[in-house]
């Protein structure tokens, strides 16, 4: 493991690379890249920043975030916001919205990273099921919808996105089933 | 207690943000948003100079005093534009009575001005057997003007995988005062028809009284 200071620089560098205009254009030219590469990458960076926050910061946050409830609420709201099709479009055409994305999505990752381990196991189970259901619902919707939701993306792109969501949801479901019934751990969660 | 307060605050502020950014839960897509925005705050259309199918200069101002239905097209379009302008053709037929057709104008603006020469625009109109007195096809004169027009109407055009374009498809209504007042989707032709009937009748009453 790298020392914390070095990790912090690496994460910052990753954020800057994602924010470079050619990189932005590349990742935002298709819905699949935008939703399944850029946004998750930003969230993961946030998650990792959360891990290396100084201890005293974490101690200060803790009383406001018992059992991780505040953090999870924040993360869910930010997620919902970035699931609005018009916000995705606006991020492409308006720079303030793009900037908001580069700030709020890492915050979402950070909030999730800090709060998830503290969350009650039953709440974890409910949320996992709900996240999974969202993948399947949206996947189906995107596959089936005759109209485009985002003005900046092609219908074929939207369909591929739907397929990938269903695929990811299915893999998740299989991994889960294997774990529950046979105790086989494919993925950690 | 602190956690309760913080969560409460996050949920309230978050819900407010979601409420405001969807226009009170009324617009979830960019297309819905632009239609809603125009309905609530009509905007004056700048007086652009376009080039029409007869290679003449045309200004939106030239049609001041008429209702104008604008659609956006490119002449090599294989699908959506054909439906868009096909519906205009139906509209033109429906409103062909002398007093109504005189108050109503159709304008098909091309967003592919490099390829859509006046000749091709003319062929496009012929394809829909357009009544050229009331229906015009035109192209922007230069690329920056094209951008300005698309920006104004918030029409987004993206290249598709077959060398053509995918674009926002709708009917944009400019009123006799030169203001963009409504946008109807390609699926809303019935609403468009009802709307035009209504406004044309209102206008008739106003001019009579």
- Does B198 share its domain with B135? yes
Average pLDDT of chain A is 90
pLDDT band at B1 (very low <50, low <70, confident <90, very high): confident
Residue B139 reports pLDDT greater than 70: yes
The answer to whether A68 touches B12, Cβ cutoff 8 Å, is no
Task: Check whether B81 is labelled as a binding-site residue.
Answer: yes
Minimal CA separation from B159 to chain A, in Å: 9
What CATH number is attached to the domain comprising B75? 3.40.30.10
The pLDDT score that the predictor gives to residue B99 is: 67
Is B57 an interface residue toward A (CB < 8 Å)? Answer: no
- Cβ–Cβ below 8 Å for A86 and B29: yes
- Does B122 share its domain with B76? yes
Model-level ipTM above the cut of 0.90: no
Please state the rounded mean pLDDT for residues B136-165: 89
Helix axes A69-82, A85-93, angle to 10 degrees: 70
pLDDT band at A102 (very low <50, low <70, confident <90, very high): very high
Looking at the DSSP bridge assignments, the partners of residue B105 are B68
- Does B148 share its domain with B132? yes
Q: Which residue has the higher pLDDT, A56 or A101?
A: A101
Residue of A nearest to B23 (CA): A86
* B117 SS3 class: coil
pTM: 0.84
- Does B7 share its domain with B81? no
Residue A188 reports pLDDT greater than 60: no
> Distance between alpha carbon A87 and the CA centroid of its chain, in Å?
15
- Cβ–Cβ below 8 Å for B166 and A155: yes
B137 backbone dihedrals φ, ψ, rounded to 5°: -115, 140
- Picking from B202, B170, B177, the residue whose alpha carbon sits closest to that of residue B35 is B170
Q: For B35-85, how does the pLDDT look when each residue is reduced to its tens digit (9 = 90+)?
A: 999 999 999 999 888 998 988 899 888 888 889 999 999 988 888 888 888
d(CA B63, CA B74): 22
Domain enclosing residue B161, as ranges: 43-208
- Does B99 share its domain with B196? yes
The pLDDT score that the predictor gives to residue A8 is: 86
Residue A189 reports pLDDT greater than 70: no
In the structure encoding, which two tokens stand for residue B132, read together? 């050229």
Rg (CA), chain B: 20
Where do the domains of chain A lie? 1-118, 120-189
pLDDT band at A186 (very low <50, low <70, confident <90, very high): low
- Picking from A51, A103, A65, the residue whose alpha carbon sits closest to that of residue A82 is A103
Minimal CA separation from B158 to chain A, in Å: 7
Rg (CA), chain A: 18
Residue B98 reports pLDDT greater than 80: no
- Picking from A91, A93, A89, the residue whose alpha carbon sits closest to that of residue A102 is A91
B22 vs A contacts (CB less than 8 Å): 84, 86
Please state the rounded mean pLDDT for residues A122-126: 93
- Does B4 share its domain with B59? no
Looking at the DSSP bridge assignments, the partners of residue B58 are B50
A69 vs B contacts (CB less than 8 Å): 3, 7
Looking at the DSSP bridge assignments, the partners of residue B185 are B170
Please state the rounded mean pLDDT for residues A127-154: 91
* A183 SS3 class: coil
The pLDDT score that the predictor gives to residue A187 is: 61
d(CA A84, CA B29): 7
| A 134-163 residues inside an 8 A Cβ radius of B | 148-156
d(CA A93, CA A31): 14
Residue A75 reports pLDDT greater than 90: yes
- Does B106 share its domain with B159? yes
DSSP chain B: -HHHHHHHHHHHHHHHHHHHHTTTTT--SHHHHHHHHHHHS-EEPP--EEEETTS-EEEGGGGTTSEEEEEEE-TT--SHHHHHHHHHHHHHHHT-SHHHHTTEEEEEEES-TTT--HHHHHHHHHHTT--TTTEEEEEESSHHHHHHHHHHHT--EEE-TTSSEEE--EEEEE-TTSEEEEEEETT-HHHHHHHHHHHHHHHHHHHH-
Q: For B151-207, how does the pLDDT look when each residue is reduced to its tens digit (9 = 90+)?
A: 999 998 988 888 888 888 899 999 999 999 999 988 888 999 899 888 888 877 776
Q: For A39-56, how does the pLDDT look when each residue is reduced to its tens digit (9 = 90+)?
A: 999 999 999 999 888 888
- Picking from A166, A24, A15, A170, the residue whose alpha carbon sits closest to that of residue A105 is A15
- Does B160 share its domain with B88? yes
d(CA B191, CA B69): 13
Please state the rounded mean pLDDT for residues A30-47: 93
Is A86 an interface residue toward B (CB < 8 Å)? Answer: yes
How many domains is chain B partitioned into structurally? 2
The pLDDT score that the predictor gives to residue B209 is: 58
Residue A1 reports pLDDT greater than 60: no
In the structure encoding, which two tokens stand for residue A185, read together? 């751990």
Q: How many CB atoms lie within 10 A of CB B14?
A: 17
CA dihedral B90, B96, B100, B105 (to 10 degrees): 60
Non-local (6+) Cβ contacts of A82 within 8 A are: A39, A88, A101, A104, A105
- Does B6 share its domain with B103? no
Burial of A35 (0-12, 13-18, 19+ CB in 10 A): buried
- Sign of the alpha-carbon dihedral angle for A144, A147, A149, A153: positive
- Does B47 share its domain with B143? yes
Is B143 an interface residue toward A (CB < 8 Å)? Answer: no
- Does B175 share its domain with B150? yes
- Does B62 share its domain with B142? yes
- Cβ–Cβ below 8 Å for A156 and B161: yes
Minimal CA separation from B96 to chain A, in Å: 32
In the structure encoding, which two tokens stand for residue A17, read together? 């690379």
Please state the rounded mean pLDDT for residues A28-35: 91
């Amino acid at each position: 493991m790298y020392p914390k200071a070095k990790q912090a620089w690496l994460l910052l560098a990753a954020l800057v690379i994602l924010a470079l205009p050619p990189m932005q254009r590349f990742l935002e030219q298709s819905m699949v890249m935008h939703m399944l590469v850029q946004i998750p990458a930003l969230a993961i960076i946030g998650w990792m920043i959360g891990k290396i926050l100084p201890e005293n910061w974490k101690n200060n946050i803790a009383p406001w975030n018992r059992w991780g409830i505040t953090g999870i609420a924040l993360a869910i709201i930010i997620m919902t916001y970035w699931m609005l099709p018009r916000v995705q479009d606006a991020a492409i055409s308006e720079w303030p919205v793009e900037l908001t994305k580069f700030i709020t999505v890492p915050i979402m990752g950070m909030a999730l990273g800090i709060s998830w381990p503290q969350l009650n196991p039953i709440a974890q189970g409910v949320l996992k099921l709900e996240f999974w259901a969202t993948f399947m619902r949206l996947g189906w919707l995107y596959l089936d919808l005759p109209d485009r939701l985002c003005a900046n993306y092609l219908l074929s792109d939207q369909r591929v996105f739907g397929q990938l969501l269903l695929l990811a949801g299915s893999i998740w479901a299989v991994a889960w089933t294997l774990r529950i019934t046979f105790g086989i751990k494919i993925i950690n969660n | 207690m602190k956690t309760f307060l913080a969560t409460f605050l996050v949920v309230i502020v978050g819900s407010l943000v979601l409420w405001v950014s969807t226009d009170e839960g009324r617009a979830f897509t960019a297309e819905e948003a632009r239609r809603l925005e125009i309905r609530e705050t009509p905007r004056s259309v700048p007086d652009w100079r376009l080039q029409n199918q007869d290679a003449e200069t045309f200004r939106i101002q030239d049609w001041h005093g008429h209702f104008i239905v604008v659609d956006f097209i490119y002449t090599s379009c294989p699908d959506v534009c054909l439906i868009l302008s096909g519906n205009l053709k139906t509209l033109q037929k429906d409103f062909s009575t002398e007093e109504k057709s005189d108050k109503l104008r159709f304008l098909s603006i091309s967003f592919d001005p490099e390829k859509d020469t006046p000749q091709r625009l003319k062929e496009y109109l012929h394809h829909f057997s357009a009544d050229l007195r009331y229906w015009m096809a035109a192209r922007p004169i230069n690329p920056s003007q094209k951008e300005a027009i698309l920006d104004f109407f918030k029409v987004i055009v993206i290249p598709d995988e077959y060398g053509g374009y995918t674009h926002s498809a709708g009917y944009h209504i400019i009123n006799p005062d030169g203001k963009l007042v409504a946008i109807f989707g390609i699926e809303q032709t019935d609403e468009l028809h009802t709307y035009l009937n209504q406004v044309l009748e209102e206008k008739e009453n106003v001019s009579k009284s």
